[in-house]
Homo-oligomer: A and B are copies of this chain.
């Protein structure tokens, strides 16, 4: 829904002067009441304003954000991605666990030193499984990692809705973000945590504005 400039002005006037009669709104705008009739009808029927007989117009405080949908679901991953923590295939399990704690992340991306391309992914779960199965913390991550082509990735143009759908569908904790669809060069990370935070941040802002 697109509000006109005049409708936005009416909302501001009501917010600052509520309760206020239609005549007084018209006077503040230097217009006649009949001119405002259709604007006031739209604003009351959408629930943005409340018209109380013999009292006047009141701002309903309805958290009505016509852009909410786009802001929530169409945001590009390139605008919200995190920094990836990168290791090489010969990194030991012990060193990988240390990295997880040091950077406080849930997964590490394994990148080939020769090509600079992603070859694997190691999660907390992969490391826990490895440590249960063997006491040898010197195993290279290349042995235990999830490897290409079984890694679900996205790129900066992916929407948060699509990234969230991939995270849910494939039951993974994060997606490496590669330069573009055909690339294997990792430039970022998007995690379940980051996606959740995106929605919660918007919810908190909406609450403040309500």
Contacts and interface: CB of A to CB of B under 8 A. Distances in A.
Contact of A68 (B47, B69, B94): B69
B164 A199 contact: yes
Nearest to A3: B45
Q: Report how many copies the assembly holds.
A: 2
Nearest to A123: B124
Interface string A55-73: 0000000111110110011
A161 B207 contact: yes
A151 B60 CA distance: 38
Q: Is the interface of A mostly helix, strand, loop or mixed?
A: helix
Contact of A199 (B38, B72, B132): B72
A68 B66 CA distance: 10
A46 interface: yes
Nearest to A39: B45
7 contacts: A72-B203, A97-B132, A101-B125, A131-B132, A161-B200, A168-B196, A196-B199
Interface of A: 1-2, 38, 41-42, 45-47, 62-66, 68-69, 72-73, 94, 97-98, 100-101, 124-125, 127-129, 131-132, 135, 137, 161, 164-165, 167-168, 192-193, 195-197, 199-200, 203-204, 206-207
What 4 A-B pairs come out closest when comparing CB atoms? A164-B200, A73-B203, A161-B203, A199-B199
